[in-house]
Structure 1
């Protein structure tokens, strides 16, 4: 990827070929490109990368840039963590890129860290409880919790799973080996894809620390 250009300008880079109308047209094209990229869900910095690369060069995006600029898009992947006020405290949250699932970290008066996962689920509340009863437990950011730490409740008129995470370690988030999969079942049971959430690590330790200091 590189700048858009005019052939005449390439062959005669120092020639006076552009007037005020041309300059206005160039700005109009830039505006159209930024608007198009934004509408496609890509970070507008994509256009900036092109603008800073000369026509004689070619910028090839790294895997990190592809993710950071949302050039590649995986619906199930979760976005970086953020915080927002809720009740008398603060909650940390991360949504899947298609906005269909959400992870919310918070604590109540008992100060126990909690994680709430909202759907959509393929099962109703009763079916989810039966499935949880058959789990060996759950793993959150590389830390294991027994199935007794899980409960099912309604959130926004839909089933949700809440994980009570006593002795949860914020320091373990960044060192967790499960970088791609933050929440998954463990134990002697068959892998169940519905419990596989690719919750982002980005911003997690800081956002969760704030939420767990400001219980709702």
Structure 2
């Protein structure tokens, strides 16, 4: 696989040709979010035009920030320097940042996560060079109402004099090198290279807005912790309903056995911490008397925790025989009053897509245990 250094050698001398020519204030970085109980509540807001030296400005911001700065950045930018956008994306990837498309507004009643500024998320736009910076994120999130756009790269002279014969054979050679460098950048970032083809459909004064469906299919957006839609799978003459995270580390299975009735099994294959111990502590360490599972209450005596041979653990909830109302797939939710702070988590929110019909079918088609 080509490395980032290969891209730089291929295009260092020519990236200065590829500028978006937009009129905007230079990109600034500000703390944002609120100090509340969720991993995503704190972020860095990045707004404005991307210049060649924007990556250095971001590095200076990080150097001056406290150690607990959130690894999540929101981009709201019309574009700018292609060189700056790609190098900023490389920096996001190297530092393990999640990228979001969106803006924010000051929340005067909020509690700052860091840096003395509290804010709430609002939709935003990330276009041109900003889109390539966005692709550097480990996780990549396109907010509802926000827009992500791409177009062909170009030079300012070509934009101001579109009918003039400005280009030499060397310019054509450089253009091909830039296109190759963009493809290599996308491949190294795990993005489908067809994004370049989408960009080629829009001229310098146009934008191709990537739809959420295209973003998902081309891996432009990627949320490892996000849950896939529920699916029904046949099992031992019955059926089970299954949903798992995009990275495959967490899995929910709803089923019914003829002897024990309906049950929900939550598996966490993460081997970086003692999942089994956490499950066991939270099995009995309730503020209420029962676990809220898929819309019904489950007594701790009907909950079992086991370690997995492969690493991680699973927790099994045996539901009452009465059919639950299937209000929510979330387990150990921060929103539930049943759990103390230490047992609240945003890792097990589950997917609402196909949730009710899939789980109801699984609970109604019991297999022999």
- Give the shorter-chain TM-score range: 0.5 to 0.7
User: What's the CA shift string for 1:37-73, capped at 9, x where partnerless?
Assistant: 68855578867765665664213457x5587445333
Q: Distance in 2 between matches of 1:147 and 1:97?
A: 30
How do 1:63-74 residues align onto structure 2 when only pairs under 5 Å count? 64=212, 68-69=216-217, 70-74=219-223
Instruction: Compare relative contact order (CA 8 Å, sep 6+) and give the higher one, 1 or 2.
Output: 1
CA distance in 2, matches of 1:190, 1:60: 43
Alignment correspondent of 1:182:
330
How is 1:52-91 mapped onto 2 (pairs within 5 angstroms)?
Answer: 56-61=205-210, 64=212, 68-69=216-217, 70-91=219-240
* Other structure's SS at 2:313 match: strand
Q: Deviations over 1:88-124 (max 9, x none)?
A: 2222211112211111111111473321111137336
Counterpart of 2:243? 94
Aligned to 2:31: none
When the two chains are superposed, the root-mean-square deviation of aligned CA atoms in Å is: 4.3
Matched, 1:145 2:297: yes
CA distance in 2, matches of 1:134, 1:127: 10
User: Hey, what's the Cα distance between the residues in 2 that align with 1:192 and 1:160?
Assistant: 18
Which segment is superposed worse, 125-134 or 111-120? Answer: 125-134
Paired residues, number: 194
TM-score (norm 1): 0.62
Structure 1 205/131 Cα, relative in aligned 2: closer, same or farther at 3 Å? closer
Superposed, which structure 2 residues align to 1:169-208 within 5 Å? 169-170=325-326, 172-173=327-328, 182-184=330-332, 186-187=336-337, 189-192=339-342, 195-196=345-346, 197-208=348-359
Query: Which residue number corresponds to residue 115 of structure 1?
Result: 264
**Which runs of 5 or more residues in structure 1 are unaligned?**
13-28, 174-180
In structure 2, do the counterparts of structure 1 residues 6 and 159 end up closer, same or farther at CA, with 3 Å as the change threshold? closer
Task: Confirm or deny that 1:164 pairs with 2:318.
Answer: yes
**3-state SS of the aligned residue for 2:360?**
helix
Residues 89 and 71 from structure 1, CA distance in 2 versus in 1: closer, same or farther, beyond 3 angstroms? same
Q: TM-score, normalised by structure 2?
A: 0.40
Question: Any idea what SS the aligned residue of 1:184 has?
Answer: coil
* Distance in 2 of aligned mates of 1:113 and 1:38: 44
| Structure 2: 5+ residue stretches without partners | 1-148, 164-178
Q: Does the 8 A contact of 1:132 with 1:147 survive in 2?
A: no
